[in-house]
Amino acid sequence: MQLRPIPIRRWRAVSALAAALTAGSLLVVPGAGPAQADPPPNPTDGQIQQAQNQKTALASQIGALNAQIATMQAQLAQLQAKQELAEQKVAYSLQLLQQARQDAATARTQVQAAQQQVRSAQQEFVAYAQAAYMGGQIGGMTGSLLTAPDPNALLQQGALTQYQASHQIGAIDNLQRANVAKSNADATAQRAVIAQKQAADAAAQAKKDADAAVLAARQQQQQLQDTMASTQTQLDAASVQLATLNGQRQAFLAWQAEQARIAAARAAAAAAARAAAEAAARARQQQGVAPAGNGSAPIPSGGSWSADKGQNAVNRARQYLGWMYAWAGGNAGGPTYGVCAGDGAYNDCNIVGFDCSGLVMYAWGPYISLAHYAATQYTQAGSYHPSVGNLQPGDLVFWSSDGTIGGIHHVAIYVGNGNVIQAPQSGSVIQITPLNQVSWGYFGATRPLT
Instruction: Quote the pLDDT of residue 138.
Output: 47
Structure-model confidence comparison of residues 128 and 86, the more confident one: 86
Q: Let me know how long the chain is.
A: 450
Q: Calculate what percentage of the chain has a pLDDT beyond 90.
A: 46
Q: Picking from 18-27, 39-48, 384-393, 408-417, which range would have the lowest pLDDT averaged per residue?
A: 18-27
CATH number of 307-446: 3.90.1720.10
| Nearest by Cα to 313 from 389, 425, 415, 221 | 415
The strand pairing partners of 352, in sequence order, are 337
Residue 47: which residues within 8 A CB-CB, separation 6 or more? 245
**Same fold for the pair 47-237 and 307-446:** no
Residue of 152, 124, 127 whose CA lies nearest to 139? 127
Average pLDDT taken over every residue of the chain: 81
pLDDT digit string, tens, across residues 51-106: 999 999 999 999 999 999 999 889 888 888 888 888 788 888 888 888 888 888 88
266 confidence band (pLDDT: 50, 70, 90): confident
* Residue 126 confidence class, pLDDT cut points 50, 70, 90: confident
Lowest mean pLDDT among 45-49, 95-99, 212-216, 273-277: 273-277
Per-residue confidence at 12, pLDDT binned at 50, 70, 90? very low
Across 93-102, 192-201, 435-444, the highest mean pLDDT is recorded for: 435-444
Quick one: fold of 47-237?
Helix Hairpins (1.10.287)
The tens digit of pLDDT for each residue in 198-245 reads 988 998 998 899 899 989 999 998 998 999 899 999 999 999 999 999
Extents of the domains making up the chain: 47-237, 307-446
CA atoms of 34 and 436, how far apart (whole Å)? 52
User: Is residue 181's pLDDT more than 70?
Assistant: yes
Higher pLDDT, 153 or 84: 84
pLDDT of res. 418 = 97
CA separation for the pair 385, 398 (Å, rounded): 11
pLDDT band of residue 399 (cuts 50, 70, 90) is very high
- How many angstroms separate the first and last alpha carbons of the chain? 48
Other CB atoms within a 10 A radius of the CB of residue 379 amount to 12
Q: What is the pLDDT of residue 427?
A: 94
pTM for this model (two decimals): 0.37
